[in-house]
Structure formats: C-alpha cells, structure tokens
Structure 1
C-alpha cells in the first residue's frame, strides 16, 4: 500500500490562483491517517462560484492567503508516493499557480487522477465525483473540500484493495492484468 495525499481545491473564480479552500487527506498503508481543511483568502475578492461551494469573500476575508498558509500545508506533502485528485488537471493547476503566485517551490510529486482510475478500474461512467462515490458507497458532501478529498482518498484505497498498484501501474482485474498508466 502506498502513502499519498488526496487534495481538493475550491476556487473563487476562473483564475487558477483563486483557491478559497483546500481539503487534505493523508493516507498511509491503506488507511486515512489524518485530514484537514483550510479556508484560503484568494488574491482578489471576486467570487463567481459561490453557487457551487457556498463560500463568499466574507467567509475567507480573515483567512490566510496561500503563501501564509503554505507552512501548514507543506509538511503534508513529505514522504509521499503520489498526490491524488479527482480531475487532477484542475487541482494540479491550482496548486502550481498558487505556489507560483507566492514564489513557492512547486511540488514535483506525481498526481494520480481518480477520474481515470475509476474509469479504468471499474468502467464507471459518468465519472463525476458523485457518480464514483455512489458506485463505491462513499459518503459525499460535494464541493466541500474536505469531503471531496476524503472521497478521492477512498477511491484510491478501493482501487488498491482491488489490485491497483502505483508502483507497477497495473491492476489485477479478475484473471487479467490491465495497464493503468498516466492517470
């Protein structure tokens, strides 16, 4: 079993550096070891996605910006095999842009996308997070950063239990092995 961090960002607007919340769930040896959510004050007060996640500028105005929060987040990234996110392209872009905005070193840890993992492991379609959570019987309060990252962590845990391995990139599915690369 691997050590990984499931991460989920919520953003205020279309800007990739507008993180307003992040959920972190650390998994070690197939079990959730710790979890935490942080509110983040984005660089600008424009909130276009309140209707999705319920957060407003007033909710985060007194929270630290990403740069000030980084010393609390960075230790979560130590000693990982990989990062996991549902639609990892989004979360990896937000992480990269937030780090660049505050002149922080961008983590080089590989991302695994649980959208791709669910499609290849169980042929789940559609693969929105609520669909995969329902398929696996997971609780989900969608667009709550901690709930989303917890569901993502549990998707990876389920895949590992079903034979997927980060180290080999393969899963034993029934009588056959399938390659699961570039998730």
Structure 2
C-alpha cells in the first residue's frame, strides 16, 4: 500500500508556526523517497528550540510554508492517506499553515500511528520513541525527517502484521 508519512516541528504554540516539515513517501512497501525542508515560521519566537534544536537563525532566511506548499500539494492530494504519529497535531498544523497562506486544507485523510500501535500490538505507552524501541526502528526524535521515516516504518510494520488502515479512514476524518 502506498501512502505518505509526515512530521512537523513547530516554533511556538501557534498551529501556523511550522519550522520544519518532512515527508516519507511510501511506494510498494518501502520508503521510496523523502522530502525535508526548514520553514520560516510567521513569528521569530522559537519556544521549542530545546525540543527540536531549530533556532531562529536556522530558519529566518528560509522560505515560508506558502512557498513550499505548491511543491508538495499534488503529492499529498494524490496519497490515499497521510500517516502521522499523533495525527491530530500534524493535521492541525497542516490545515492552519495552509489557511494562513490562503490555501484550503487538503482532504487527504490521516491515519494516526499512535492508534495503529495500540490496535496492532496493544502497546502502551505509545510515544514515538516507545514504538520505535518496540520495533527496533532507529530514531532521532524531533528531527522531522527521522520522525517521518519512523512513522512510515511503523505503518509498514503494522500493515505486515495485518493492520487495516481503513479502520481510521471513515467519513468523519
């Protein structure tokens, strides 16, 4: 099954404050390509540098989300679903970043790999490092690219173990 796993890092509490975005594009059961960009958030406040290590100096000269959206919109629109660990967060960031730049949020449904891990392996806790440890999946947590690839690998492992993503792809995504 093909899909895209994604991960955002944010600069502050605003859902429009993406400062990093990564995609792991899965084709034919493997991560076929990756995409990662640093993004200039709308405000210079970097409340979460202590978590992800991204400073204002690293992003102040980068393009904003609106610059990158045309580059990835078709890819996201074509995906049968987007996988994210704690998907409501990433879905909200994507929607708010799109809105802030005058774009409609994509209609592509999300599958939450927190729920996937709980449903497939009955794991608790299901923070990304816990699930990666269970699967022996390397992780540099809060690096968007590492997190997106790890999320893709979680989804692939669950699919191999019989997980049906349509369980989360109902009409009220």
| Partner SS state of residue 68, structure 2 | helix
Partner of 2:145: 146
Unaligned runs of 5+ in 2: none
Partner of 1:48: 47
Which of structures 1 and 2 has the bigger CA Rg? 1
TM-score by length of 2: 0.95
CA contact (8 A) 2:2 2:80 kept: yes
- What RMSD in Å do the two structures reach over aligned CA positions? 1.4
Partner of 1:57: 56
Moved over 4 A (4+): 180-183
Partner of 1:173: none
Give distance in 2, aligned partners of 1:62 and 1:141.
25
- 1:67/1:181 CA distance change after superposition, 3 Å: closer
Unaligned runs of 5+ in 1: 170-179
Give distance in 2, aligned partners of 1:94 and 1:123.
28
| Partner SS state of residue 165, structure 2 | coil
Q: Deviations over 1:127-167 (max 9, x none)?
A: 00000000001000000000000000000000110011224
Partner of 1:110: 109
